[in-house]
């Protein structure tokens, strides 16, 4: 399963992409994450549904310096890849 996600709030300039990457790697998910010009962060993650649910829950709760005010996500077609990168 693969999901596209977009997080809004205070998610840039606070290490949020690194937090998402580290969380995804810990869960052994593949995909990517990047900043958007409008201040949001978007990404894609692929792996078992239960691990994706855990990642989305972690993204929503954020980390110490981030504040996620909105998190949207949708299932998308799977893609090749084994790593999780910051773009």
Domain assignment present for 19: yes
State the catalytic residues.
Answer: 17, 35
Q: Domain limits at 60?
A: 2-79
The burial of 10, by beta-carbon neighbours within 10 Å (0-12 exposed, 13-18 middle, 19 or more buried), is given as middle
Q: Determine contact, residues 42/4, Cβ cutoff 8 Å.
A: yes
d(CA 49, CA 47): 6
pLDDT given for residue 64 in this prediction: 86
What domain count does the chain have? 1
pLDDT given for residue 4 in this prediction: 98
Domain assignment present for 85: no
Q: Domain of 27: which CATH number?
A: 3.30.70.100
pTM over 0.85: yes
What sign does the CA torsion over 55, 56, 61, 66 have?
positive
d(CA 5, CA 73): 4
pLDDT tens per residue across span 6-58: 999 999 999 999 999 999 999 999 999 999 999 999 999 999 999 999 999 99
Domain assignment present for 74: yes
pLDDT given for residue 62 in this prediction: 76
pLDDT given for residue 41 in this prediction: 98
Domain assignment present for 13: yes
């Amino acid at each position: 399963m693969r999901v596209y996600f977009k997080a809004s709030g205070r998610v840039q300039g606070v290490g949020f992409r690194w937090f998402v990457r580290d969380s995804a790697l810990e869960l052994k998910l593949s995909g990517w994450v990047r900043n958007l010009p409008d201040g949001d962060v978007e990404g894609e993650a692929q792996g078992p549904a239960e691990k994706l649910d855990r990642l989305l829950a972690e993204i929503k709760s954020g980390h110490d310096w981030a504040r996620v005010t909105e998190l949207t996500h949708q299932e998308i077609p799977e893609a090749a890849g084994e790593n999780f990168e910051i773009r």
